[in-house]
């Protein structure tokens, strides 16, 4: 593991602009602008509250694989029932 | 909590049924698999007061070790619970590596599949599974057919990230729902692995554009509108899991801990002392100062247990999962732009999404991922 970084605060790096390796295509900018033009006359409306979910589906955004057993605010359970 | 949520899950507890495991997975956070088991009497004495309480659903989760090493206990406990009348509904869940599942177990689980769900951990492609976990002697199709709504837990680490997309697609094509997640480990990922993760997400986005009905993976589920709002009005950093607050795990001797990671299964004496002093239960501040301006904290994949284990502080979040999260948001934005461009008619929800995409894009453009 010599070539890996120790997982702690000491390795925090500052954000930098325009990193050539940064995998976020600037061409996307044009597409987003085009979409913005397409909806310029439409009043934005956000979907219902986040808890309006499909009851059979796991909706845990914490992504660490709790498998839906905990009663946290983010977990909708994932049981077939 | 909403009404819907209360109906789904009112209270959850975990039972650490065994410390033993028959595998030795590369990324496992349990380093000493002691021969400790929970007895049936102990499990009954823990469950009884919970089941006697009035309330909504009680979720009972089996933890290990490998839970199927305690199949006899699980079977006896479930049948004991079934044989009595209680004051609330309940259901059981266990995760398993699936390697010990035999015909007797298959038959029993089939008979109890509405009451007991077993979630399989399987790392995608069979050869990746073999390399990470050391065994491919698993009847994946049984899990998919018995519990079709249950996701297969697919763990990704640096040695398997270059085959992540292939592995996810392999499982999706078998008819499984997949929950891919990046292992929490002691060392941060180097940039080359983060870049590989980005590449794999692009492959998956392309797959989903051609297979629109395939069950979506969590990597492509993001509340962009919420993130965009957070840029204007930053959300406080709250606890992102139920450990110690609404959820507890009971050790083989009946002792209570905030979760299985924050228990003697994983922790050494010093850290265990912190937990025993109520470090989690009494904690009110879950903020990490380096995340003060992050728009994604409401969905941050941080793990209190791993923060304590690897950085000695439940608040000290790791950077790998931060980069992983941002890579996913970026991939999701690309996927959403592609989807929206294809639509013939855009509606008000689309307009809100496009506005959010613009804000998040501008934020990401000014903050390097690496």
CA atoms within 13 A on the CB side of B112: 23
Q: Tell me which of B120-124, B282-286, B303-307 is least confident.
A: B282-286
Predicted ipTM?
0.85
Tell me how close the Cα of B33 comes to any Cα of chain A, in angstroms.
Answer: 20
Confidence of residue B248 (pLDDT cuts 50, 70, 90): confident
* Interchain pair B223, A38: CB under 8 A: no
pTM over 0.95: no
pLDDT score of B105 more than 90: yes
pLDDT tens digits for B50-67? 999 988 888 898 999 999
User: Before B282, cis peptide (omega within 30)?
Assistant: no
> Which helix (H) or strand (E) segment is B307 a member of?
helix B304-311
Determine contact, residues B253/B18, Cβ cutoff 8 Å: no
CA A3 from centre of chain = 29
pLDDT tens sequence across B317-326? 999 999 999 9
Average pLDDT of span B110-131:
94
Rounded to a whole number, what is the distance in Å from the CA of B117 to chain A's nearest CA? 7
**Residue B215 DSSP symbol:** P
Parallel/antiparallel/unpaired status of strands B187-188 and A5-6: antiparallel
Among the partner residues B59, B306, B341, nearest to A69 by beta-carbon distance: B59
A19, A49, A71: residue with CB nearest B247: A71
pLDDT of res. A66: 55
> Could you give phi then psi for residue B119, rounded to 5 degrees?
-95, 125
Q: Do A9 and B290 touch (CB under 8 A)?
A: yes
Distance from CA of A10 to the nearest CA of B (A): 11
Alpha carbons B361 and B295: distance in angstroms, whole number: 12
């Amino acid at each position: 593991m010599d070539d890996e970084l120790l997982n702690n605060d000491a390795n925090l790096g500052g954000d930098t602009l325009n990193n050539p390796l940064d995998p976020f295509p600037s061409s996307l900018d044009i597409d987003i602008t085009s979409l913005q033009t397409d909806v310029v006359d439409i009043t934005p409306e956000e979907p219902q509250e986040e808890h309006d979910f499909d009851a059979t589906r796991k909706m845990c955004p914490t992504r660490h694989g709790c498998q839906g057993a905990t009663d946290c605010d983010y977990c909708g359970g994932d049981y077939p029932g | 909590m909403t009404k819907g949520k209360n109906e789904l899950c009112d209270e959850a507890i975990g039972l650490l049924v065994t410390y033993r495991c028959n595998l030795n997975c590369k990324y496992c956070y349990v380093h000493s698999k002691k021969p400790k088991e929970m007895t049936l009497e102990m499990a009954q004495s823990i469950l009884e007061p919970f089941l006697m309480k009035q309330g909504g659903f009680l979720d009972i989760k089996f933890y290990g070790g490998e839970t199927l090493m305690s199949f006899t206990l699980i079977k006896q406990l479930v049948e004991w619970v079934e044989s009595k009348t209680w004051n609330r509904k309940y259901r059981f869940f266990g995760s398993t590596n699936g390697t010990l599942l035999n015909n007797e177990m298959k038959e029993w689980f089939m008979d109890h599949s509405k009451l007991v769900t077993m979630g399989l951990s399987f790392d995608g492609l069979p050869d990746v599974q073999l390399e990470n976990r050391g065994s491919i002697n698993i009847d994946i199709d049984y899990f998919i057919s018995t519990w079709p709504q249950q996701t297969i837990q697919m763990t990704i680490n640096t040695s398997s990230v270059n085959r992540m997309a292939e592995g996810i697609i392999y499982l999706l094509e078998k008819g499984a729902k997949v929950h891919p997640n990046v292992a929490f480990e002691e060392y941060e990922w180097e940039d080359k692995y983060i870049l590989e993760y980005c590449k794999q997400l692009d492959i998956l986005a392309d797959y989903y554009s051609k297979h629109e009905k395939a069950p979506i993976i969590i990597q492509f589920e993001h509340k962009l509108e919420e993130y965009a709002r957070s840029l204007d009005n930053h959300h406080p950093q709250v606890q992102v899991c139920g450990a110690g607050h609404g959820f507890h795990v009971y050790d083989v001797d009946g002792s209570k801990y905030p979760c299985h990671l924050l228990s003697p299964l994983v922790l050494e004496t010093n850290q265990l002392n912190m937990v025993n002093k109520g470090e989690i239960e009494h904690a009110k501040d879950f903020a990490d100062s380096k995340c003060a301006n992050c728009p994604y904290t409401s969905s941050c994949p941080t793990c209190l247990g791993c923060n304590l284990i690897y950085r000695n502080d439940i608040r000290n979040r790791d950077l790998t999962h931060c980069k992983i999260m941002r890579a996913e948001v970026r991939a999701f934005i690309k996927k959403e732009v592609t989807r929206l461009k294809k639509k013939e008619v855009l509606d008000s929800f689309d307009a809100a999404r496009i506005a959010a995409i613009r804000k998040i894009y501008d934020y990401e453009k000014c903050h390097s991922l690496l």
